Amino acid sequence: MDFDRLKELCLIPGISSREEKVRQSIIRKLKPNEYFVDKIGNLVIKKGKTGKKILFMAHMDEIGFLVTSIKENGDLILRKVGGIPDEILQSRIIEVVNEYKIITGVIGSVPPHLKNDNANFELVADIGVSSKKEVIEMGINIMDYAVFKKSFNIINNFISCRALDDRFGCFALEEVYQNINPKNEILFAWTVQEEIGLKGAKALSNELYEIDLAIAIDSFACCSRQNQHIQPGNGPIIRFVDNSGISSFEFSKQIIEIARKNNIPLQVGATGGGTDGSIFVDKGIPFVALSVAVKYLHSTVEMIHIKDLENLIKLIKAITEEEF
């Protein structure tokens, strides 16, 4: 497996509404003859001309921050974009991104020495300056964004990195696109603004309304009471129910059979959150959510099992080559 490419995708900054760097990287990598980018930034590439129309989606955006104001002392006031737990905010190195460069900063913390002085934590970025004037001179402005600084690590059989959600899905679709001879008409979509309410998929559902099946490739938050049977390393997952919808029973059965026929391990589980696929139900299109188990989801150390990713790619490829 091309870990270098997965690492490259994970390390690209791109919060919701600012996915352009990720999208450009995918286009450069795949060099498609034909593709389209809609008005909000969803990227769609088609492969195959006959059979059922099947849409595969993975979202390009990650959780992060917007710069909403600049204090007179040079601190950047940040606003969370997406579901970032408060407990992971303090003592983090971040990267502030504008059109031209990336600037390192920190989100600090309140030292224990000052607890009795009623010092409170404030969600600001310290970029090592002491005035608003210096910030402006560095080229940082309101509407720029920031992400946690990322470290890509292979730990025994696992990969750990911030933004594996959902860059592993983006990577999986790249791998399948480059290595299939589909028996169906396959549309690959890399979507935007998933982390703030599945907004990219909502737009896409208005454009791609003649789809027979929508399949979302996204994370599965494992290791909770409702999915204790799900284990990293035991195969990809049909995310059959979450807070946004319920996967098609009939198509889920077909995918289970495809996995069995191809000796691909497959798990079935329930979790929270939502996926892009559920949006298509409102348009009368069935969906299935496919996932891998992610430990520590929406943290700076998300982890997935290497074999799960390999088997997910095998499963997606097998689905594209199956006559539905």
On whether the CB atoms of residues 53 and 185 are closer than 8 A, the answer is: yes
Instruction: Give the pairing of strands 303-305 and 287-294.
Output: unpaired
- Peptide bond preceding 166 in cis form (omega within 30 of 0): yes
- Active-site residue flag, 34: no
Tracing tokens 């979509």 back to the chain, one arrives at 189
DSSP label at residue 142? T
23 CB contacts (<8 Å, ≥6 apart)? 37, 41, 43, 60, 190
Taking CA atoms, 61 is separated from 14, 24, 164, 168, 297, in Å, by 5, 13, 11, 12, 14
On whether the CB atoms of residues 290 and 216 are closer than 8 A, the answer is: yes
Written as six digits, the tokens of 174 are: 């790249």
What is the C-alpha separation between 224 and 236, in angstroms, rounded?
Answer: 17
What is the C-alpha separation between 217 and 166, in angstroms, rounded?
Answer: 8
Half-sphere exposure of 76 (CA within 13 A, CB side): 33
What is the C-alpha separation between 52 and 127, in angstroms, rounded?
Answer: 52
The total of other beta-carbon atoms located within 10 Å of residue 108's CB is 16
| Among 194, 195, 302, 322, the one annotated catalytic | 194
DSSP label at residue 271? -
Amino acid at 91: S
What is the C-alpha separation between 99 and 185, in angstroms, rounded?
Answer: 37
Q: Which residues are catalytic?
A: 194
